Chains A and B, each alone.
Chain A
């Protein structure tokens, strides 16, 4: 909030500010010079006051003098005069800013927008809190003291900002594989300089505390220094790990562990130091019930929460690690050789790996980081929550001591999902379309409500796994029906039997697939008339009865869906007609899929340059080529179509066109044959993919036909 306010302030540009400062300072010096001359003139020749103000600078100094004495006199005059002092202070800040700017130029070059924003935020926040500190906590009255504190914090602020920049820049540099070494060296040197400065400031604080100000002041100053030191040290450590990793061939198995523990230690250290620092402020300040104490209390609360969060995440991490190590053995040499494939998570070769019960192999580190957020096999989605955890389930879940071997599976999942979302929550990622945090929390509740109608709970990924097995046998049966039936039977065999005997209800045409939400009756689907059931049910509407908060967020879209449902009822007949059109293109896909091999689209592929610049130009050329080809094709199609009818735009309902315009039919026939022209330069991989698309289209078409 302070940031927002301050952001609206019109700040002068650096150039103006420097100019004004220089002018002001020279005015002050000129004034001092003048005053000195006047004073000196008076001393040397009290009668001749005609060395007037105008001529003063030009008069050559005729008196004998030591330049030192002259200089000190001037300083004395400057300090004696109020406005001169301010001008000098202003100049000092100006110099500080220029120094900062210079370092930024040398080390970072032009700042990116996000870096600028970060620096700005950091700066304003820093100002705000230090203002509170000086006037709220220390309650400094004396002008000199205020000045001293300001100087101290200004230097700190500069170092903080530079650290922040280093951190941002490091993160950015780590996004690219092609960074010249000099960049890294510059940033690292700057970090080293910051460290040295911190050490110096720490010494200074010891000195000040010891000689003048006492233990409290020392503690305040030292805390600031140490905080800054930890922050910059953390960046250095991360940097070192990153550089080591990048120059290291193959997989560095323990990298993730180092990174994790570095992060953990530094984060906890920073949080606890900051917490103590603020607590100290609150207790020492004796300023309860003032604005400052309020701000500090807020800060304390925030720090405490962060700390707690971090600890909880660490517990989850430890649990995952121990459970993984206990249950998934390392793969043997033979298994690794049999597998002969890369790790599916990082796409790198495996020298060592862990084997999941489903037979899939992964790097230990890769698997661990995945299990931290999910409990299923990444490849086949088999549920991996510990079955022994499930059997030993007990109502004792809040055991903080961790004596309990492990919480039961359901709680395990709950905790997992909650903690996950708590910790891995990336606002922008979810917030864009998911209403709120509570969504995640209720996830498991809904699972509980929705799944265990009367039987034991069954995990979704397990269900999906079973559903996939069934679908392998019956690809034509919609997944939703399979899942619905599986929820009843809990057994692949029974469901298959049900399908064979025709006991599985297959939804009428118009429900293309996946109608999971039918189990969870929703307001929207309740109003849906069965035959024209393809109403856009908004995401998550099914949870409305369970979760009011989410319901509120979804109200607008729900309204839309209800409207759509109304309309559906009105135009029922139209909709039915529409279905024929709907089904047609799919069926045609089956016949005509995968032609357009007329141009060698791969002509710029098949080579992956080592040089970044070349890669970039090649990618650009491929894009251009693709666009050009598409344009050409479009134009020729327009041409062939144009001679029949300019306005014919409905591509999907091809059967109409077929009946009305025989010429088009010929066109597609030609294209159909061209698909089988030999010598299309497709590689095997391309062919596979084309096949898979074709197969998918085929399945979809088959499904539709069956519904009809």
Chain B
């Protein structure tokens, strides 16, 4: 199956290069393996993550785009929907049958028409508006809700760190 996945990834890479969405750069870490990508995401404006550049790794399955890729931030990031090890928990990355209770409507979940670009844009909007209902990092969700100043402070540190300053 890797053949069709490869073609599709190539097409996506081309599109992301020719027509990059604002604040997002993504591509294979190494041309020898098209199934591992690195993406840089700029924190959305006017949010506590503003200005940061966050690196994430995308790992594609060999039957992509039938199954969603996995996404993991390689930098520290304190966010309700990101596990402390960096894994991203958003509905678009969940396979259709993945959800045991119809908790997320399947419309928001993975389908082959989704793409790397859409994933990254969803992540940007997730950074802007955390969804603390399905918290991956309970600690972050609590801080975000109860102690916004503290959350912003941590976020600011993350931004600074992500820039290597």
Task: Give the B-binding residues of A (Cβ under 8 A).
Answer: 171-172, 174-178, 241-242, 245-246, 255-256, 259, 344-348, 366, 369-370, 373-374, 376, 378-379, 381, 417, 420-421, 424, 426, 429-430, 432-434, 439-440, 442-443, 446-447, 450-451, 460-461, 463-465, 467-468, 479, 483, 511-517, 520, 534, 536-540, 542-543, 547, 550, 557, 560-561, 564, 567, 571, 574-575, 578, 581-582, 585-586, 588-589, 592-596, 601-602, 605-608, 612-613, 615-616, 618-619, 622-623, 626-627, 630-631, 633-635, 637, 649-654, 668, 682-683, 685-686, 689-690, 692-693, 696-697, 700
Contact = CB atoms under 8 A, between A and B. Distances in A.
Contacts, number: 315
Residue from A373, A650, A654 with most neighbouring chain B CB atoms (10 Å): A650
B112 A345 contact: yes
A536 B133 contact: yes
A621 B112 CA distance: 30
| Chain A contact residues: helix, strand, loop or mixed | helix
Contact of B66 (A369, A381, A514, A593): A369
B107 A465 contact: yes
Contact of A637 (B30, B51, B106): B51
Given A468-B107, A561-B138, A582-B148, A626 B25 contact: yes
6 tightest A-B CB contacts, nearest first? A536-B135, A464-B107, A612-B31, A536-B141, A685-B19, A345-B112
A456 B27 CA distance: 47
Interface of B: 1-4, 6-8, 10-14, 17-23, 25, 27-28, 30-35, 38, 40, 42, 45-48, 50-53, 61-63, 65-67, 70, 80, 83, 87, 89, 95-107, 111-113, 117, 121, 124-125, 128-129, 131-136, 138, 141-142, 145-146, 148-149, 151-153, 155-156, 159-160, 163-165
B69 to A, nearest CB: 10
Contacts of B117: 689
B142 A567 contact: yes
A553 to B, nearest CB: 11
Nearest to A612: B31
A353 to B, nearest CB: 14
B22 A446 contact: no
A176 B31 contact: yes
Nearest to B149: A650
Given A465-B107, A539-B103, A567 B47 contact: no
B107 A467 contact: yes
Contacts of A650: 48, 148-149, 152-153
Contacts of B111: 374, 376, 378-379, 381
A433 B87 contact: yes
Residue from A515, A517, A564, A592 with most neighbouring chain B CB atoms (10 Å): A564
B107 A429 contact: no
B102 A516 contact: yes
24 contacts: A175-B32, A366-B4, A369-B1, A369-B66, A370-B66, A370-B112, A374-B96, A374-B97, A374-B111, A378-B113, A429-B95, A440-B97, A446-B101, A464-B106, A512-B133, A536-B135, A537-B134, A547-B100, A601-B20, A615-B17, A616-B31, A626-B23, A630-B53, A651-B47
